[in-house]
């Protein structure tokens, strides 16, 4: 049997089996502290669950418009106005099966064979694979540790060719936790406008910002940049609704219409019940999210405090999302539990075996000097994990 060429174009998961190692160890009864998780450990808020239950009880269990129900699109427009000062009509909005699917639909609608898509690196690991699945070429622009994980407008500009179709901006960023300021976004917007490159602004972590920092949507910086920006967001992270699968895009009506057409022949509408729940989430009080975020802030501080005590680890204090992305490359060449660590993958494997702490190798996100630590886990586990991490690293030889 011969599989389609697009399948071999995508890389196998670069997490080097850390995930499967964790589940194997747990099956054997070994207690592992996992900092590998990419979703809030909180339960979906009750008022949201109730809206879902109510939808079932009322028989709201049939197809909706393929691009999402008019009511949810209205709620999304209200949200974008209220939180981001963005004016959109419902016809400029599509609801998809999660933000991941939303981005995939953009690629389907816009990316042609050989088109170049600019991705600041480190990046969320699905971006390059989604580009490749659509025949595009991911072009990585360095935003590494030494630059505070921020891409410079000059580097973006010099990566642009006549094949460049899109650039992806993810602020707050997974995995680095970086949050771009208004003026940094203005400089990026200027580059995009000058070269006529469309921007995907993945704002899925918008609620997770700390230290009084403000999340700014690049689309809100002016009418011109708004026209060439596709704002991607969803309820997965901010309302702990990863399993409900609701994400959305707001942008140019023609692109949205093309995406809706594609979606109508692929998934049809996102789950009707989840759509009702998402309306409740978006229209509900923000207190629940605020409380969750203040808990994440306390955990971030706890992790930062712990990491400061460990020689050989360096980090930029993340201002957003729920990840730390410390640089551990100064420890490469040393031994951890009898294994010589040579890169982020062997570091994570040795750490898991030796200290029963799971991190994700930075190589999965395009940065082999670093590792990703998610603090979307209980304070108690964070404390225990940091204790184990410190002990193991202090004992490296």
Binding site for ligand PLP (CB under 6 A): 38, 98-100, 124, 170, 174, 202, 204, 234, 236-237, 242, 247
* Closer Cβ to ligand PLP, 277 or 392, answer by number: 277
* Closer Cβ to ligand PLP, 41 or 314, answer by number: 41
* Closer Cβ to ligand PLP, 316 or 374, answer by number: 374
User: 232: which strand partners?
Assistant: 202, 249
Q: Residue with the closest Cβ to ligand PLP?
A: 98
CB of 231 to ligand PLP, least distance (A): 13
* Closer Cβ to ligand PLP, 169 or 386, answer by number: 169
Largest CA-CA distance found in the chain, in angstroms, rounded:
63
* Closer Cβ to ligand PLP, 64 or 329, answer by number: 64
CB of 101 to ligand PLP, least distance (A): 6
* Closer Cβ to ligand PLP, 221 or 249, answer by number: 249
Angstrom distance (rounded) from CA 284 to CA 391: 44
CB of 334 to ligand PLP, least distance (A): 31
Angstrom distance (rounded) from CA 5 to CA 9: 6
* Closer Cβ to ligand PLP, 127 or 310, answer by number: 127
Q: What is the DSSP letter of 219?
A: G
**187: Cβ contacts below 8 Å, ≥ 6 apart:** 153
Q: Which residue has the tokens 């809100």?
A: 220
Angstrom distance (rounded) from CA 253 to CA 250: 8
CB of 237 to ligand PLP, least distance (A): 6
CB of 149 to ligand PLP, least distance (A): 14
Where would I find the H helices in the chain?
5-9, 18-27, 46-57, 70-84, 99-110, 126-133, 153-159, 182-195, 223-227, 253-266, 272-283, 287-308, 344-355, 379-394
CB of 267 to ligand PLP, least distance (A): 13
- Angle among Cα 165, 372, 374 to the nearest 5 degrees reads 105
Q: How many residues does the chain have?
A: 397
Angstrom distance (rounded) from CA 239 to CA 15: 27
CB of 188 to ligand PLP, least distance (A): 17
């Amino acid at each position: 049997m011969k599989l389609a060429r697009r399948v071999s174009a995508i890389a196998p998961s670069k997490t080097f089996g850390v995930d499967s190692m964790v589940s194997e160890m747990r099956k054997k009864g070994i207690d592992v502290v996992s900092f590998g998780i990419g979703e809030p450990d909180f339960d979906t808020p009750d008022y949201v669950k109730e809206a879902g239950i109510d939808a079932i009880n009322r028989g709201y269990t049939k197809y909706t418009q393929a691009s999402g129900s008019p009511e949810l699109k209205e709620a999304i427009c209200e949200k974008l106005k209220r939180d981001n000062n963005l004016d959109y009509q419902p016809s400029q909005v599509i609801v998809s099966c999660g933000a991941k699917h939303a981005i995939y639909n953009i690629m389907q609608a816009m990316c042609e064979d050989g088109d170049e898509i600019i991705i600041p690196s480190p990046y969320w690991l699905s971006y390059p694979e989604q580009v490749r699945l659509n025949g595009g070429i991911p072009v990585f622009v360095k935003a590494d540790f030494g630059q505070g994980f921020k891409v410079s407008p000059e580097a973006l500009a010099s990566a642009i060719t006549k094949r460049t179709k899109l650039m992806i901006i993810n602020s707050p960023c997974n995995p680095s936790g970086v949050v771009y300021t208004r003026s940094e976004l203005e400089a990026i917007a200027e580059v995009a406008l000058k070269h006529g490159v469309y921007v995907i602004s993945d704002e899925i972590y918008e609620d997770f910002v700390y230290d009084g920092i403000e999340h700014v949507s690049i689309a809100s910086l002016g009418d011109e940049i708004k026209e060439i920006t596709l704002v991607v967001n969803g309820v997965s992270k901010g309302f702990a609704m990863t399993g409900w699968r609701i994400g959305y895009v707001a942008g140019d009506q023609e692109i949205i219409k093309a995406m809706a057409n594609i979606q109508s022949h692929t998934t049809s509408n996102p789950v009707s019940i989840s759509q009702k729940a998402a309306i409740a989430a978006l229209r509900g009080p923000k207190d629940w999210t605020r409380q969750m975020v203040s808990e994440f802030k306390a955990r971030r501080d706890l992790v930062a405090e712990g990491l400061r005590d460990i020689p050989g680890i360096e980090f930029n204090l993340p201002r957003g999302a729920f990840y730390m992305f410390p640089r551990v490359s100064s420890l490469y060449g040393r031994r951890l539990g009898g294994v010589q660590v040579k890169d982020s993958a062997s570091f994570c494997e040795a750490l898991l075996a030796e200290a029963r702490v799971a991190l994700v190798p930075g190589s999965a996100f395009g940065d082999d000097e670093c590792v990703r630590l998610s603090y979307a886990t209980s304070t108690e586990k964070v404390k225990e994990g940091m204790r184990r991490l410190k002990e193991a690293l202090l004992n490296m030889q």
